[in-house]
Amino acid sequence: MARNKYNVDEELETGFNLGYLKRLLGYMKPYKVKIFISVLLMLLSSSISLIGPVIAKTALDNYIPNRNINGLIVLSTLYVLIFISIAIIMRHRMFTMGEVGQSILVDMRHDLFKNLQYVPFNYYDSRPHGKILVRVVNYINSLSDILSNGFVNLIADMVTLIMTIIFMSFLSIKLTLVTLIGIPILLAVMLSIKNAQRRAYQKLSSKQSNLNAYIHESINGIRVTQSFSRKKENMNIYEELCTDCSDSWMKAVSLNFLVWPSIETISVISISLIYIFGILVFKGGISVGLLVAFISYVWIFWAPITNIGNFYNTLINAMAYLERIFEAMDEKPEYDKEDAKTFKDVKGDVTFKDVYFEYEKDIPILENINMNIKSGEKVALVGPTGAGKTTIVNLLSRFYRIKSGNIFIDGTDINDVTLKSLRKEVGVMLQDPFVFSGTIMENIRYGRLSATDEEVINAAKIVRADDFIKDFNDGYNTYLNEQGSGLSVGQKQLISFARVLLADPKILILDEATSSIDTETEALLQEGIEELLKGRTSFVIAHRLSTIVNSNKIMYVGDKKILEEGTHEDLLKVKGLYYNLYKSQYIEV
């Protein structure tokens, strides 16, 4: 399957969509009461702040010329109380919206992670896991500011802007019109750079994704890196990715910086025009107090415009991340049909009928796969690496959707049953064992949380995992770090084996289940496996042919088909592909 790499920019599969912004607002709906209260507090704070210039005008035009000390004391006290009130209101608003913003981030991260639990395997096969991780963590975190402050501040700034214009109009209609001259110019500047900003932030998000993917890959492969002394080469790659990321960031913020200087320049010009028109053009109609008050209102007028400009920059940035977040959130999950049935009383008959599968369009991996397996039979799949053996059993578990054909269990198409009930009956021991952080007991119980400690220990004994677990100081309560560091690959395989066994499936898939286990332990394990497989349908993929000679059926997979099928003795008599494979491992046949 074509796989996006750490040095390949991700292309968005969907274009710019304002619906994403609507969806973001939808996440705010459950917190509308707190948001409404925050907006009211913000408006109250803005309204109180507008009283300041009126106080200044009264002091300059009335109290100072008349030497009204008591009046000045009252105005000064009122001025201090105004700013104390604003500080208290702002503190409460910031705390409330901070809490709301973080709650929304938790909700979005929950929905994204939930969808990632259901998307099919080909989603993970087609991109580095670091590029998925960056969406769940970094991109969603980048929305914090716009959710905590952005939208509430936008509403408050818009209302403050309108109220400021009203206050200015009461003082002087003519000066108000002069002030508004700069607005069309500012809008023209912002609209002219909008598309360039969006493209710049999309490129930045791609470079950040690439960097995160490489870091994730490097950490996972650090043992290989150090064993091959690849540190210098890897640092060169890392520095190149960092440079790409830095260059993209500089390009994006350079466009952002066009907005703030534009607002500052236009605001300074408008204030200069106020002085010119107020002193030279509108002679005799404007007092010093009115001019000072009006200039104060002009500064207040441009403050929310600056905030709106900053919000605009933040929104353009956020949209680049939202597009990628919602793209992942909209990835089609592997859901059940509306009328899907629940598997009950499964016996274990398995049928493949004309199954055709491809990872990439028009590049078949399997063609015309047919098989009929009776309940309780042990089926071995052999053949060269890459022939499609693991793919066959993955299709049985519905990890991937087949292109055409049908797969039946007990005569029921696996697409017609719920995924949960299907995978409860099909246990898979993967080729690469995975151990989660937690105790050994928790790892084995992962597939059946209701299992008792005795059942966990019994499963471990059957697969011979108990032999090494009991040697740990804490036994089954031994805590394992991420990916089971400190355990050998063979020990992790045994723990994974016990996990599958405990789930007690009717159909068992063993994909190279004993490949990392020493010969002595494997011999003991085979006894437990044979006992376990009694009464179960099983599919075994193994390169060591000694482990599958007693299978009811052996199928040789190659050239996208099942080329040979029969028992061990029957296939040896044919002297075909299986015979040659067996002969290559054992001199005497």
DSSP state, residue 10 = P
Q: How far apart are CA 252 and CA 320, in angstroms?
A: 11
- In terms of Cα–Cα distance, which of 423, 391, 408, 358 is closest to 117? 423
Residue 214 has pLDDT above 70, yes or no: yes
Q: What is the mean pLDDT of the chain?
A: 81
Contact 301/161 with Cβ under 8 angstroms?
Answer: yes
Q: What angle do CA 464, 467, 469 make, to 5 degrees?
A: 110
Residue 2 has pLDDT above 50, yes or no: no
The residue ranking higher by pLDDT, 466 or 65, is: 466
Q: How confident is the model at residue 357 (pLDDT cuts 50, 70, 90)?
A: very high
Contact 437/482 with Cβ under 8 angstroms?
Answer: yes
Contact 120/354 with Cβ under 8 angstroms?
Answer: no
Beta pairing class for 412-413 and 404-409: antiparallel
CB neighbours of residue 122 within 10 Å: 13
Residue 46 has pLDDT above 80, yes or no: no
CB neighbours of residue 179 within 10 Å: 24
What integer pLDDT is reported at residue 363 of this predicted model? 86
Highest average pLDDT, of 2-11, 285-294, 479-488, comes from 479-488
What integer pLDDT is reported at residue 11 of this predicted model? 63
The residue ranking higher by pLDDT, 34 or 256, is: 34
Among 34-38, 247-251, 303-307, 373-377, which is the least confidently predicted range? 303-307
Q: How far apart are CA 414 and CA 431, in angstroms?
A: 23
pLDDT in tens, 228-253: 778 888 888 888 888 988 888 888 87
End-to-end alpha carbon distance in the chain? 39
What integer pLDDT is reported at residue 199 of this predicted model? 78
Residue 407 has pLDDT above 80, yes or no: yes
* Average confidence (pLDDT) over 553-576: 92
Tokens 């046949």 -> residue:
589
Q: What angle do CA 73, 75, 77 make, to 5 degrees?
A: 70
pLDDT in tens, 458-467: 988 888 888 8
Q: How far apart are CA 498 and CA 492, in angstroms?
A: 10
The total number of residues shown for the chain amounts to: 589
* Average confidence (pLDDT) over 124-136: 81
What are residue 417's phi and psi, to 5 degrees? Answer: -120, 160
* Average confidence (pLDDT) over 396-424: 90
Contact 435/483 with Cβ under 8 angstroms?
Answer: yes
Tell me the two tokens of residue 171: 């003082």
Q: How far apart are CA 267 and CA 308, in angstroms?
A: 14
> What percentage of the chain has pLDDT greater than the value 90?
13
**Which domains are assigned to the chain?**
19-329 (1.20.1560.10), 350-585 (3.40.50.300)
* Average confidence (pLDDT) over 543-560: 86
What integer pLDDT is reported at residue 223 of this predicted model? 73
The residue ranking higher by pLDDT, 23 or 146, is: 23
Q: How far apart are CA 138 and CA 250, in angstroms?
A: 19
> What percentage of the chain has pLDDT greater than the value 70?
91
What integer pLDDT is reported at residue 589 of this predicted model? 44
The residue ranking higher by pLDDT, 148 or 367, is: 367
* Average confidence (pLDDT) over 80-88: 84
Q: Which residues of 547-565 are buried (b: 16+ CB within 10 A; e: fewer)?
A: bbeebebbbbbbebebebb
Q: How confident is the model at residue 12 (pLDDT cuts 50, 70, 90)?
A: low
Q: Is 428 strand, coil or helix? A: strand
The residue ranking higher by pLDDT, 168 or 485, is: 168
Tell me the two tokens of residue 454: 């005795």
Contact 464/498 with Cβ under 8 angstroms?
Answer: no
Q: How far apart are CA 374 and CA 544, in angstroms?
A: 24
Per-residue DSSP letters for 325-389?
Answer: HHHHHTSPP-PPPTTPBPP-S----EEEEEEEEEEETTEEEEEEEEEEE-TT-EEEEE-STTSSH
What integer pLDDT is reported at residue 517 of this predicted model? 63
What integer pLDDT is reported at residue 565 of this predicted model? 93
Radius of gyration, CA atoms only, the chain: 35
Q: How confident is the model at residue 369 (pLDDT cuts 50, 70, 90)?
A: very high
